[in-house]
Chain A
Amino acid sequence: MSSPSRAAGDTIHAPVGALARFLRRYVFSTDHKIIGLQYFFLALLAVTVGMILSLLMRFHLVWPAAHLPFVAGGIMTPEQYLAVMTMHGTIMVFFVLTTAPQSAFGNYFLPLQIGAPDMAFPRLNMLSFWLILLAFVVMMAAFVVPGGAPISGWTAYTPLSGLGEIAGPGEGMGQSLWAFSILIFCVGSLLGSINFIATTIDMRAPGMTLMRMPLTVWAWFVTAILSLLAFAVLFAAGILLVLDRVAGTSFFMPAGLVVNGALQTNGGGSPLLWQHLFWFFGHPEVYIAILPGMGVVSHILANFSRKPVFGYRAMAFAICAIGFLGFLVWGHHMFVSGMNPYSGLTFSLLTVSIGVPSAVKTFNWLGTLWGGRIQFHSPMLFAIGFVSFFVTGGLSGIFLAQPAVDTTLHATYYVVAHFHIVMGVAAIFGILAATYYWFPKMFGRSMNESLGKIHFWLTFVGVYCIFMPMHFVGIAGGIRRYADSTGAAYLAGLQPLHRFMTIAALVTAAAQVIFFCNLFRSLRRGAPAAVNPWNGTTLEWIAGSPPPADNFSGRFPSVYRGPYEYSVPGAASDFWPQNIPPGLNPGESTEQRYAG
């Protein structure tokens, strides 16, 4: 148990100044809630950077001669465009989509939802965060070193990423910093995932059986297992890449490379090896980003439909099935890579199979809404938006899962549209739903509902306006990662679509300003929140808002039933918290028993 170390962390030895107290409580904290918030605010910073980078790209694609802020020289060069694109992808995948749903909300709410006082290893938890923060600083440093940020994309395909400066601007120090940052990030993620797994297995409250865990906990648990297996492989791949770059090895370099007119001395390596290792991590990474969102959405749909999750067991098994199958499909990123075509067919069939548990989730979300009493608060709107995006983006993936069809769509904007909707925006909607839902718990105050709804509408419609037309650009052959969207003659006809998408992106980004204003204003001025403002059933809603240092003020709960007992027949109230012993009136609210 970790409470002794937590208590020690909170003890303030006199005499200490206010600064020292602040540092100890909010900066060098071992409290899972503070660490969760640290991840949350890091992800907010990262998403802001990532979004600005995406706007710079969208601007450049339709107004290539425009003077842009943050761009050295004002007018973006091709190498600057590729650097911005590489950093956008890297920052969003690692420091937003991996950090916010799992590390931020998982850290904050997993111990609360299983009735634990903290994570299993609080100091390891703190170390994980500091490593991720260090990785972020190292990644940002790539912008300011000579040559600038790398231009090889977030996938960093070798030999381009392994050759060094000779391969292009940004491929010197910038690419090295990228690789170092990823290595540090891997270590941080591995430590974090061990902590999540140990906590879920070991620290559940009495009565909290696996089949009584909220689906959020299931999602964080399975995601942690994915992280443990996937980041380990990325770490190994990263080490080999660094060795190729700095130690003259040739893990990913074949013999006879002639780069920029100069014969290289490498030999014996395979460029496809990097792709296999990278995507062995990279595809599970997609599920690392989206599974926590699926958990959050199931949780919220039940709460605001006032109904149990439809097919809870099937939902839990579907999370496990997606996690398992997620490790068997990496080759679908490599249909045109030169991989054996028979492997392509195998990966294709495995990939379409993953559509089955995904469809089970979608049907069960609809089943959860069906017959409910749906209350459209901001978290619910974002959860419904998630379902819509997941359907759209999931189905467009069925095209890409087939090697024959992928042969025409690969590396076009169709792919960009697909993964942005299904893993980018859907995951972001999971994060936003979680933020609106748990804000009262995390900060003891409520966010403004009207601003939340405006934020939802502008973002939901805006995202579809950005990414639906993008499919058609791809079908017509519009190629991604082009600094000049009219690079080939036939692309010129697609510029009107590009202009429309850029304007939609500007409006959507502006809507995020509303979110940030709402968030930061509500931190100080939001209406004080009750302990259980949404009449939820799970254990986080019996803790204070915000929860005290040990989460439950010493009265650790026991669990008597499943997590989604809403509208139970015969009950006086429409929710039956997990911790109320049988026999007590289900209508008796948690607040009456535990508030104060």
Chain B
Amino acid sequence: MVSSLLRSRGSASPALPLAIFLCFFVAASVYAFVARLYPSPPPISEDAVLVDRQYALTLYITGAAFILAQLGLAYAVLRFRDRGQKAKFIRGKIALEILWTSVTLVAFVGLGIAGRNAWAGARFTPAAPDSIQIEVTTNQFVYTFRYPGADGKFGRLDPSLVNAPAGNPLGIDPNDPAGRDDIVVSDLTVPVDRPVELLLRSQDVIHNFFVRELRLQQDTVPGMVIPVHFTPNGTGRYEIVCTQLCGLGHSTMHSHLNVVSESDYVNFLKRQAFVQ
């Protein structure tokens, strides 16, 4: 006995629109990715170029899988819609199972291994010994950047001395001579083509340091000093944004990275040393 639900009319009719929609969806997705309608901005470091290459490789491999799987689904629903035929009795094919398990294993794990380089370049190696060191401190909802000044040494910090209204947002100890020439600013300025090491700290909650053009994103965690390094190769002014939910002002927390020529950088340091 066949029940009334199975007899309801049009049980195969959604096949064609479903197949058409899936084809359209694949075409639209491929177009949007290939035409780069909403691209990320051009990279400004060698490490960022490596990240972009790995992104592209991932896009090709997953894109091929996406197209095959969605179109395979479209084909199956159209080809095997109920036209009164008898379904084939197939429990499975072990050779096929082994084939697609091995192919995905090689493709996905291979991709993961290939991705090591882009990560290792930025994260496994310490910063070059001649890097410019700048300390980045976050708190709700501002960035503060500290340069060590002419002596090349950061002054000691004491959390109990933090007093932003009085002009000491970082709590620099006034009794430490190394701190007297420290430069404290709210924008990050670095020279082009010189390695830079940032020491990321946070005073209150977890924040983040993200510059799209560097393809660099790193949380700043209270209680930790997290080093990151990069060598910018394009001058310009880039936005630094917080991407880690840090409280009600999260979306207002940003600053700028100014990548300037060597001479402009020297002038910047001189000017700041004079002002402070």
Check A276 for interface membership: any CB of B closer than 8 A. Answer: no
Residues of A within 8 A of B246 (CB): 160
Check B251 against A487 for contact (C-beta < 8 Å): yes
Which of B25, B69, B76, B171 contacts A370, CB < 8 Å? B76
Check B245 against A407 for contact (C-beta < 8 Å): no
Within 8 A of B (CB), among A491-539: 494, 497, 527, 529-530, 532-535
Q: How far is A574 from B1 in the complex, measured between Cα atoms in Å?
A: 11
User: Given A341-B119, A398-B108, A376 and B85 touching (CB < 8 A)?
Assistant: no
User: Which one of B145-153, B217-225, B257-265, B268-276 is at the A interface?
Assistant: B217-225
Check B81 against A163 for contact (C-beta < 8 Å): no
Check A207 for interface membership: any CB of B closer than 8 A. Answer: no
Check B118 against A374 for contact (C-beta < 8 Å): no
User: Given A159-B205, A482-B251, A535 and B76 touching (CB < 8 A)?
Assistant: no
| Contact pattern, A 295-308, Cβ under 8 Å of B = 1, otherwise 0 | 00000000001111
User: Given A384-B18, A396-B62, A256 and B159 touching (CB < 8 A)?
Assistant: yes
> Shortest beta-carbon distance, B199 to chain A, in Å?
12
| Contact pattern, A 350-370, Cβ under 8 Å of B = 1, otherwise 0 | 011101100110111011011
User: Given A374-B82, A391-B70, A475-B40, A534 and B5 touching (CB < 8 A)?
Assistant: yes
User: Which one of B47-55, B173-181, B183-191 is at the A interface?
Assistant: B47-55
Residues of A within 8 A of B247 (CB): 151, 160, 167-168
Check A412 against B243 for contact (C-beta < 8 Å): yes
Check A490 against B222 for contact (C-beta < 8 Å): no
Check B89 against A568 for contact (C-beta < 8 Å): yes
Q: How far is A312 from B226 in the complex, measured between Cα atoms in Å?
A: 48
> Shortest beta-carbon distance, B236 to chain A, in Å?
13
Chain A CB within 10 A, most for which of B62, B101, B119: B119
Check A369 against B76 for contact (C-beta < 8 Å): yes
User: Given A372-B88, A404-B119, A472-B32, A352 and B112 touching (CB < 8 A)?
Assistant: yes
User: Which one of A35-43, A185-193, A229-237, A259-267 is at the B interface?
Assistant: A259-267
Check A342 against B21 for contact (C-beta < 8 Å): no
Q: How far is A529 from B6 in the complex, measured between Cα atoms in Å?
A: 11
> Shortest beta-carbon distance, B8 to chain A, in Å?
5
Residues of A within 8 A of B1 (CB): 589, 591-592
Q: How far is A487 from B120 in the complex, measured between Cα atoms in Å?
A: 32
Check A349 against B222 for contact (C-beta < 8 Å): no
Check A399 against B58 for contact (C-beta < 8 Å): yes
Residues of B within 8 A of A256 (CB): 159, 203, 222-223
Within 8 A of B (CB), among A88-146: none
Check A367 against B11 for contact (C-beta < 8 Å): no
Check B156 for interface membership: any CB of A closer than 8 A. Answer: no
Q: How far is A353 from B276 in the complex, measured between Cα atoms in Å?
A: 54
Q: How far is A408 from B47 in the complex, measured between Cα atoms in Å?
A: 12
Check B88 against A567 for contact (C-beta < 8 Å): yes
Residues of A within 8 A of B203 (CB): 256-259
Which of A79, A355, A373, A395 contacts B85, CB < 8 Å? A373
User: Given A352-B112, A568-B89, A375 and B69 touching (CB < 8 A)?
Assistant: no
Check A416 for interface membership: any CB of B closer than 8 A. Answer: no
Residues of A within 8 A of B104 (CB): 355-356, 359-360
| Contact pattern, A 313-354, Cβ under 8 Å of B = 1, otherwise 0 | 110000000000000000000001110011011001101110
Which of A362, A364, A532 contacts B3, CB < 8 Å? A532
Residues of B within 8 A of A338 (CB): 218-219, 221, 224, 226
Check B218 against A374 for contact (C-beta < 8 Å): no
> Shortest beta-carbon distance, B123 to chain A, in Å?
4
> Shortest beta-carbon distance, B16 to chain A, in Å?
10
Check A530 against B4 for contact (C-beta < 8 Å): yes
> Shortest beta-carbon distance, B192 to chain A, in Å?
21
Within 8 A of A (CB), among B1-54: 1-6, 8, 11-15, 17-18, 21-22, 25, 28-29, 32, 37-41, 50-51, 54
Residues of B within 8 A of A468 (CB): 25, 28-29, 32
Check B40 against A163 for contact (C-beta < 8 Å): no
**Which B residue's beta carbon lies closest to that of A156?**
B245
| Interchain Cβ contacts under 8 Å between A and B, 28 examples | A254-B222, A256-B222, A257-B222, A263-B160, A263-B162, A271-B221, A311-B92, A311-B93, A342-B124, A345-B116, A356-B109, A359-B65, A360-B104, A369-B76, A373-B86, A376-B13, A391-B65, A398-B61, A403-B115, A403-B119, A404-B115, A405-B54, A407-B51, A456-B14, A468-B25, A490-B41, A529-B5, A535-B2
